[in-house]
Amino acid sequence: MRVAVLGAGYAGLTLARKLQQTLPDTASLVVVDEQSEHLVQHELHRVVRRPSLADEITVDLDAVLDCEIRQATVTDVDPDAGVATLDESETLSYDVGAVCLGAQTAFYDLPGVREHATPLKRLDDAREIRERFHDRSDGDRVVVGGAGLSGVQVAGELAEMREGSDIEVLLLEQEDAVAPSFPPSFQSAVHDALVDAGVTVRTGTGVAAAESGGISLEDGSDLPMDQFVWTGGIEGSPALDSDRPVVRADLRLGESTFAVGDAARVVDSDGEAVPASAAAAIREARVAADNIGTLVERSQGSHGEFQPRLTQYQFNVPGWLVSVGDDAVAKVGPSVLTGGAALALKTTVGAGYLGTVGAVQNAVDLVSEELDLHDEKPESE
């Protein structure tokens, strides 16, 4: 019997490591990802200011997985047939599988935005943002489109990189508040932290189009700019026709295929939509591991012809964290923390995640780098 995990992001890596521990010897596990390394996405913004962090937030898959790993791009998935297409030509059949392909940056067909803006999804994106920012000079304007957590974090990093210059870092958000998917108390604290960092914040301002040197806004006005970073939303993997299909609390996408993490829009056991986040993806992966195990047992005759009872996912995370330059904001229960307490918590969470996926040295190095962040000047080119 073959179990396939398609994608090795937060959901895929967490799921694969759990399955390694729980699958019977009669089942083989294969993990497919287009990269040979796992990227700790929620720390990617740090690389814009501190390139050396790239080493700490990338984890070799073969160092933390003990199964078959195929480096290939999943270009199509038939969740009912249990077949994935790799690199547009090779087929991979599986008995039970999980689609963990994450999401990609959505440009919403806005004219010129894809061509003139840099997203923040890969290490190369972070390096490009950094290099372009180093070409900026006094009086220039850098625009970050989208004030979700990624946009907030990259705007904070760029603001810290100005080193006394009067480069404007402008954060645009179509909704009426930054971090629009989060509780009002968290939104307010994030907004204050951005202003304190010197970021210009404009909410209720949507992007209509972009061209070299300028952005057209939805209200019909034009906004001159010298650099454009786009974090305005996500869409599904090309393997799913750029869709994020809705899955219910058992995470089932097909008869023997599950969808986990940002690859799908998950509705939990309370009927609530689950926000796309690393925290949710990791917790969904644990439920998916239980359900895959159940289907494997059924296929081996343990449950006869009866439909198995699958575990239901309920969204429940202890809080939210975001970096804003040298500051951070954390919401833990009803409390909102900023400053040193929030920074310490964010560092602990990042290192803790690396520890759970077996990258212990990366965790140690990340803590060391983060602690040094406030004692050293930003790295020069």
pLDDT value of position 227: 98
Mean pLDDT of 128-151: 97
Residue 222 has pLDDT above 90, yes or no: yes
- In angstroms, the first-to-last Cα distance of the chain is 51
Task: Give CA angle at 368 (367, 374), nearest 5°.
Answer: 95
Answer whether 280's CB lies under 8 Å from 266's CB.
Answer: yes
Residue 377 has pLDDT above 50, yes or no: no
Tokens of 117: 């803006």
Answer whether 199's CB lies under 8 Å from 339's CB.
Answer: no
Q: What is the mean pLDDT of the chain?
A: 93
The neighbouring-strand residues paired with 170 are 143, 200
User: What tens digit of pLDDT does each residue of 296-315 get?
Assistant: 998 877 555 567 789 999 99
Residue 378 has pLDDT above 70, yes or no: no
Q: Parse the chain into domains and list their residue ranges.
A: 2-34+72-104+235-299, 107-232+319-373
Q: Closest by alpha carbon to 278, among 213, 328, 234? A: 234
pLDDT value of position 232: 95
Answer whether 116's CB lies under 8 Å from 211's CB.
Answer: yes
pLDDT value of position 62: 96
User: What tens digit of pLDDT does each residue of 26-62 get?
Assistant: 999 999 999 999 999 999 999 999 999 999 999 999 9
Tokens of 190: 């994030």
Q: Closest by alpha carbon to 290, among 1, 62, 15? A: 15
Answer whether 262's CB lies under 8 Å from 254's CB.
Answer: no
Whether 2-34+72-104+235-299 shares its CATH topology with 107-232+319-373 is answered yes
pTM of the model: 0.91
Q: How many helices (H) and strands (E) does the chain have?
A: 10, 24
Residue 93 has pLDDT above 60, yes or no: yes
Residue 369 has pLDDT above 90, yes or no: no
**What would be the CATH architecture of the domain defined by 2-34+72-104+235-299?**
3-Layer(bba) Sandwich (3.50)
Top CATH class of 107-232+319-373 equals alpha beta
Report the distance separating Cα 3 and Cα 234, nearest Å. Answer: 28
User: What tens digit of pLDDT does each residue of 54-90 get?
Assistant: 999 999 999 999 999 999 999 999 999 999 999 999 9
pLDDT value of position 305: 56
Answer whether 152's CB lies under 8 Å from 190's CB.
Answer: yes
